[in-house]
Amino acid sequence: MVATGATSFFPVTSSLPDSGGNKLGSGSTNLGGLKSKHTSSGGLQVKANAHAPPKINGTKVSTSVENFKHGDVLPSSQSSRTFINQLPDWSMLLAAITTIFLAAEKQWMMLDWKPRRSDMLIDPFGIGKIVQDGLVFSENFPIRSYEIGADRTASIDTIMNHLQETALNHVKIVGLLGDGFGSTPEMCKKNLIWVVARMQVVVDRYPTWGDVVHVETWVSASGKNGMRRDWLLRDYNTGEILTRASSVWVMMNKHTRKLSKIPEEVREEIGSYFVESAPILEEDDRKLTKLDDNTADYIRSGLSPRWSDLDVNQHVNNVKYIGWILESAPQSILESHELCAMTLEYRRECGKDSVLKSLTAVSDANVGNPAQNGHIECKHMLQLEDGAEIVRGRTKWRPKPVNNFDIVNLVPAGSN
């Protein structure tokens, strides 16, 4: 409709006499702004000249009519001109605008305007970001189907992997990631790597499949030669706190496999990122006791790392140790309870050729029907076959939510 209006600004009449009595069929004629000339085919071509209005902002503007010298004869067609055909030639501009509007309308109609659930509007898959004056790093993670267990909640391994991923991305995004696994450039020059010495985790609630978790992490000094890293894991949609974790890290020479002090060059490199704050968890300073074949209630032996269990520093990932510790936990507890707190002390690293043994002692003697006994505490030990300690630990378990028991009952009963 707009295009039609644009082309109707300049009507062409079938015959128009000139001032000299000549017909349009002979010669070239000026029609007060309409210039006509013959073509080889005898047709008439019409060209429109734009005319400005007589006045613009109070200033008189001369027109083609005023430009005629005294004594010139004004073409008779001038008297028949109307306001419409005095307008400038806007046809090409209007045609372009029409084309743009038609293209925009087509794109608009192609959009999918179906209503979406609030959880579908989340974009949690990008790299995280630095917040709170550049000292805290945050990142979002969706809980995927392969990260949940039989009770439809995320496993402790999933939670720990999210914490570790956030820590590494924190180092990366601030520009301190060298060639090593979380090592800074100065650490790489001195063949140093970070190793975890202590880990404490409290899980208030496990996320379920489809949830999105928001993880925040920051670092602080820990003594003279250590670094503390804390995490806070929340539900992305509600802000509910799901997990709190605190850890202590020390440096080790990746060639000699011995612990090292933090060099001054490294301290200057990372010191500006330290936060002066108390640990997010009150430290459980109870001594972790040693277990052996006589004091353990459950033993699982013959555990060995697979190639996929090694990280880029060529030692077993610390998250794998948690899975080995739980290998000796009684099946009755795993089915009716969920892990709600954990304290681990890492004493030695494990290599690709190591063979390990997992030991567990249950502090509550009434394990026949643990679903009725409330919270249960267990002591753990992970050691090499020759008795060398790898990890000491303590776990606390709470009864699973009532709506999970029907799912748990589908698991065949059994015990280690």
Assigned domain for 266 exists:
yes
**CATH number reported for the structural domain that contains residue 216 in this entry:** 3.10.129.10
Assigned domain for 12 exists:
no
Boundary residue ending a domain (248, 283, 318): 283
Active site residue 373: no
Cβ neighbours of residue 147 under 8 Å, at least 6 residues apart? 154, 155, 158, 209
Q: Which of 313, 373, 375, 416 is catalytic?
A: 313
Assigned domain for 67 exists:
no
Statement to judge: residues 132 and 273 lie in one domain: yes
| Cα 125 from Cα 348, distance rounded (Å) | 35
Assigned domain for 373 exists:
yes
Q: Quote the percentage of the chain above a pLDDT of 70.
A: 66
Boundary residue ending a domain (229, 256, 283): 283
Statement to judge: residues 303 and 387 lie in one domain: yes
Task: Check pLDDT > 50 for residue 382.
Answer: yes
Q: Which of 162, 170, 214, 315 is catalytic?
A: 315
Domain that holds residue 379: 286-402
Statement to judge: residues 226 and 297 lie in one domain: no
Grade residue 142 by pLDDT with cuts at 50, 70 and 90. Answer: very high
Statement to judge: residues 275 and 351 lie in one domain: no
**What average pLDDT does range 296-305 have in this prediction?**
94
Statement to judge: residues 253 and 304 lie in one domain: no
Q: Which of 162, 350, 380, 404 is catalytic?
A: 350
Residue 374 CA to its chain's centroid (Å): 39
Task: Check pLDDT > 50 for residue 44.
Answer: no
Which contiguous run of DSSP H or E holds residue 251? strand 241-253
Assigned domain for 96 exists:
no
Statement to judge: residues 214 and 319 lie in one domain: no
Name the least confident of 91-95, 238-242, 366-370: 366-370
Q: What is the pLDDT of residue 404?
A: 54
Grade residue 16 by pLDDT with cuts at 50, 70 and 90. Answer: very low
Q: Quote the percentage of the chain above a pLDDT of 90.
A: 46
Active site residue 350: yes
Assigned domain for 324 exists:
yes
Q: What is the pLDDT of residues 109-123, one digit of tens each?
A: 655 444 443 333 334
Q: What is the pLDDT of residue 88?
A: 61
Assigned domain for 54 exists:
no
Give the 3-state secondary structure percentages of the chain, helix then strand then coil, rounded to 5.
25, 30, 45
Q: What is the pLDDT of residue 254?
A: 87
Statement to judge: residues 236 and 277 lie in one domain: yes
**What average pLDDT does range 72-78 have in this prediction?**
48
Model's pTM, two decimal places?
Answer: 0.66
Boundary residue ending a domain (283, 306, 324): 283
Q: What is the pLDDT of residues 170-216, one digit of tens each?
A: 988 888 876 666 788 899 999 998 999 999 999 999 999 999 999 99
Domains: count for the chain: 2
Task: Check pLDDT > 90 for residue 132.
Answer: no
Statement to judge: residues 272 and 369 lie in one domain: no
Statement to judge: residues 225 and 316 lie in one domain: no
